[in-house]
């Protein structure tokens, strides 16, 4: 029977590949249109999109087959599902796009003889599923077929078999798409309605980043008429991480989505050249030594709800008082009353942002001067009066209506009675030379947007915030005001919240900032990255000193026991080299060595290199991630994954038994896909005691 199935699928694959090749050839024969004719341009766009789709489909045209019998039809139809949709010459679907409504059956169907259904644009479609089959095709070769469901057979154990097969074969240094194995709980998030803020708490390895990227691809497909990819954006913690995830969207046939960090984006918003004082140093200070009291004070104060309120109030106060109760004489014994200027500012131009109102008022004032001088003959005297009046207009506007984000922020800080004095002095000193800390960016962006407004065509159609536990409510507030329809996907894991000076410890800090009817929360408890042994170990470490919202539940994928290696000063380096060598001998290509501090990584690098092992030291400032053997402080590994992870020196002095270190070590442990080794010198951390 299996042979029969294989033959059948091989024949179907050959036919499909032939059709794809023929279509591709035909399209390549058509010269690209570069003229001005709009109809021809639209046709060229369609041809170009088809060329791109065929390029994706020609190597791995599909990954699944679903035999579906629509209710009241005589027989089931075999549907082949792929990363992109392809139609045959007659326009009939040859491959169905995974994002199409009917394809949702493949992800939501969990077996049984009951009616299955999906939502089509025309309404609910019901029917019966006869076959759910996973098909692995690599480079045009049929490699494997696994039947997850065959009508009449009750055994569904193969459902997990295919997922486990995909999980255990992962070895790429970059994040991959998961279209063939999206799980039901992930599918629900990917296909959730566009106009609501999704807040997703997901344990380490639950697929949050992956889901966010698939959701973007889905939203673009579903709302082609409303969403523009250039107006969709992903905020991630650093550029290294952005490079790590960079392959997924192109692989899903999606381009043009902005991918950035909050700091890079905010700096671009502000039209004043500002220098960001090295974030690297302040992060390092906090993550390695707990931060100096001044730094802590600064970070806490500027992220506090009281400060957000204070900035709001200062802006509202400025707007209310912007036009002074003062007559403005523009020509000898002639001028504008404050009532007239107020009428323009508060009534006529009310709907404009402040900077635009200023422009309009300037024009109004100049027109007024023109009108008042109309009766005078042209000549030197008229010119002089006009010049003088224009000078007065400029001076008035400069004094009352021209703050920049930085000048306003400085005024606001000076007047702030509750700001700790050393924080105030340090920030003002830096601002004078146009230097800022990253925590100054939310208030500065807030002020900039208030003063200048954000045109509708520049607003975001959808925003993804990854590692959101490290975001502040202030950052979310800012993005909310410039995003249409509350369209957000916010993902994170409180158990990995190691930036507590700026992040949150409860998702309500974000959800309460949205209209409650527009917020949907999800909790993901299943972890797909690591083996059962690794997740068990990570959970034990975490709960030694922290009470998580929920514990990670592994998919049943068993691997080697977690190794704990006791060392001393004499044999520590040798043991580390041996552990790396063992991982390499097993064929692992992406191996992470995680240290407690950057200094430790720097010390270990030459030792590893001198053993003839090529390793890359990550400092958090790189733009590219290329995998291989990497060495980095544990806090920089957040979001990444390695086939084998070695955590160096988990000794008592390095990882004291407290919530911060439990979370830090949890992050490190959960980076491992297949193997985890913990090493310690002399006395082990109490956090790993339950696994020794
Ligand atoms: N349904 C799935 N099928 C196959 N692999 C999956 C699935 N879901 C997640 N994975 C894999 O699990 C790993 C973790 O995914 P991802 O990095 O998106 O998780 P995360 O929740 O963002 O993790 P973390 O919070 O630890 O950074 C990746 O290797 C991803 O490919």
Q: What's the confidence (pLDDT) of residue 452?
A: 95
Question: How far apart, in Å, are the Cα atoms of 378 and each of 29, 176, 364, 373, 389?
Answer: 69, 73, 21, 9, 16
For 146-171, what is the mean pLDDT? 77
For 293-299, what is the mean pLDDT? 66
Q: What's the confidence (pLDDT) of residue 282?
A: 65
Q: For residue 450, report the distance from its CA to the centre of ligand 1, in Å.
A: 38
Kindly report, residue by residue over 406-439, the tens digit of the pLDDT: 999 999 999 999 888 888 898 999 999 999 988 8
Instruction: Say which residue the tokens 């025309």 belong to.
Output: 122
Task: Please list the helix, strand and coil fractions of the chain in percent, rounded to the nearest 5, in that order.
Answer: 50, 20, 35
Q: What's the confidence (pLDDT) of residue 153?
A: 78
Q: For residue 177, report the distance from its CA to the centre of ligand 1, in Å.
A: 10
Q: What's the confidence (pLDDT) of residue 218?
A: 97
Q: What's the confidence (pLDDT) of residue 280?
A: 66
Secondary structure (3-state) at 598: helix
Ligand 1 neighbour 201 (Cβ under 6 A): no
Asked if the ipTM is above 0.90, the reply is: yes
Atom of ligand 1 nearest to the CA of 492: 25
Annotated binding site for ATP: 202-209
Return the structure tokens found at 178.
């998961």
Alpha-carbon span 349 to 357, nearest angstrom: 6
For 624-632, what is the mean pLDDT? 93
Atom of ligand 1 nearest to the CA of 210: 18
Q: What's the confidence (pLDDT) of residue 293?
A: 61
Atom 18, ligand 1: residue with shortest CA distance? 207
CA 649 to chain centre: 32
* Contacts for 625 with CB less than 8 Å, ≥ 6 apart: 173, 174, 240, 241, 243, 244, 618, 640
Q: What's the confidence (pLDDT) of residue 52?
A: 87
- State the pTM of this model: 0.91
DSSP state of 343: I
For 220-247, what is the mean pLDDT? 93
Q: Ligand 1 pocket test: which of 165, 178, 244 has the largest number of ligand atoms within 8 Å of its C-beta?
A: 178
Ligand 1 neighbour 178 (Cβ under 6 A): yes
Please report which confidence band the pLDDT of residue 285 belongs to, taking 50, 70 and 90 as the band edges: low
Q: pLDDT at residue 159 above 60?
A: no
For 330-350, what is the mean pLDDT? 95
Atom of ligand 1 nearest to the CA of 670: 26
């Amino acid at each position: 029977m299996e042979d029969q199935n294989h033959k059948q699928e091989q024949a179907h694959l050959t036919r499909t590949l032939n059709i794809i090749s023929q279509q591709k050839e035909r399209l390549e024969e058509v010269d690209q249109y570069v003229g001005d004719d709009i109809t021809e341009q639209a046709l060229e766009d369609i041809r170009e999109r088809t060329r791109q789709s065929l390029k994706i489909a020609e190597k791995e045209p599909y990954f699944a087959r679903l035999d579906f019998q629509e209710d009241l039809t005589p027989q089931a139809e075999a549907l082949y599902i792929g990363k992109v949709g392809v139609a045959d010459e007659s326009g009939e679907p040859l491959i169905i796009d995974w994002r199409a409504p009917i394809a949702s059956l493949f992800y939501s169907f969990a077996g049984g003889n009951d009616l299955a259904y999906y939502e089509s644009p025309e309404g609910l479609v019901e029917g019966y599923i006869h076959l759910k089959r996973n098909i692995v095709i690599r480079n045009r070769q049929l490699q494997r077929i696994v039947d997850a469901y065959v009508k009449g057979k009750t055994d569904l154990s193969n459902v997990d078999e295919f997922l486990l097969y995909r999980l255990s074969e992962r070895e790429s240094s970059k994040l991959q798409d998961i279209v063939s194995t999206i799980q039901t709980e992930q599918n629900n998030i990917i296909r959730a309605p566009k106009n609501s803020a999704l807040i997703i708490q997901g344990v380490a390895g639950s697929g949050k980043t992956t889901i966010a990227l698939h959701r973007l691809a889905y939203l673009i497909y579903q709302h082609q008429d409303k969403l523009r990819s250039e107006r969709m954006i992903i905020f991630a913690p650093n550029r290294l991480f952005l490079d790590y995830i960079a392959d997924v969207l192109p692989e899903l046939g999606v381009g043009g989505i902005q991918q950035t960090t909050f700091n890079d984006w905010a700096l671009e918003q502000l039209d004043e050249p500002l220098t960001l004082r090295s974030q690297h140093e302040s992060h390092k200070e906090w993550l390695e030594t707990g931060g100096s009291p001044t730094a802590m004070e600064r970070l806490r104060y500027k992220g506090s709800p009281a400060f957000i309120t204070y900035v709001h109030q200062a802006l509202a106060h400025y707007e209310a008082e912007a036009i002074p109760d003062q007559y403005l004489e523009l020509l000898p014994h002639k001028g504008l009353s404050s009532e007239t200027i107020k009428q323009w500012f508060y009534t006529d131009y009310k709907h404009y942002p402040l900077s635009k109102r200023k422009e309009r008022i300037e024009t109004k004032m100049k027109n007024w001067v023109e009108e008042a001088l109309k009766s005078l003959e042209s000549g030197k005297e008229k010119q002089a009066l006009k010049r003088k009046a224009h000078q007065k207009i400029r001076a008035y506007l400069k004094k009352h209506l021209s703050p920049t984000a930085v000048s306003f922020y400085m005024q606001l800080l000076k007047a702030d009675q509750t700001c700790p004095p050393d924080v105030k002095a340090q920030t003002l000193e830096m601002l004078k030379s146009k230097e800022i800390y990253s925590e100054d960016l939310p208030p500065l962006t807030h002020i900039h947007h208030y003063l200048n407004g954000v045109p509708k065509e520049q607003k975001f159609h959808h925003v993804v915030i990854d590692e959101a536990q490290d975001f502040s409510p202030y950052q979310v507030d800012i993005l909310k005001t410039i995003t249409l329809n509350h369209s957000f996907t916010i993902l994170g894991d409180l158990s990995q919240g190691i930036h507590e000076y700026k992040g949150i410890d409860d998702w309500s800090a974000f959800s309460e900032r949205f209209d409650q009817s527009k917020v949907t929360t999800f909790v993901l408890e299943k972890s797909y990255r690591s083996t059962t042994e690794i997740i068990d170990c990570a959970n034990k470490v975490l709960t030694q000193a922290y009470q998580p919202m929920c514990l990670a539940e592994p998919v049943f994928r068993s691997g080697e026991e977690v190794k704990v290696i006791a060392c001393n000063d004499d044999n520590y380096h040798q043991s580390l080299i041996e552990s790396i060598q063992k991982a390499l001998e097993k064929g692992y290509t992406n191996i992470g060595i995680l240290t407690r501090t950057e200094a430790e990584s720097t010390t270990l690098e030459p030792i590893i290199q001198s053993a003839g092992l090529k390793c890359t030291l990550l400092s958090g400032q790189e733009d590219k991630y290329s995998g291989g053997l990497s060495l980095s402080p544990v806090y920089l590994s957040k979001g990444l994954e390695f086939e084998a992870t070695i955590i160096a020196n988990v000794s008592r002095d390095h990882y004291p038994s407290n919530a911060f270190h439990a979370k830090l070590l949890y992050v490190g442990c959960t980076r491992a896909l297949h193997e985890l080794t913990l090493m310690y010198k002399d006395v082990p951390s109490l956090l790993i005691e339950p696994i020794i």
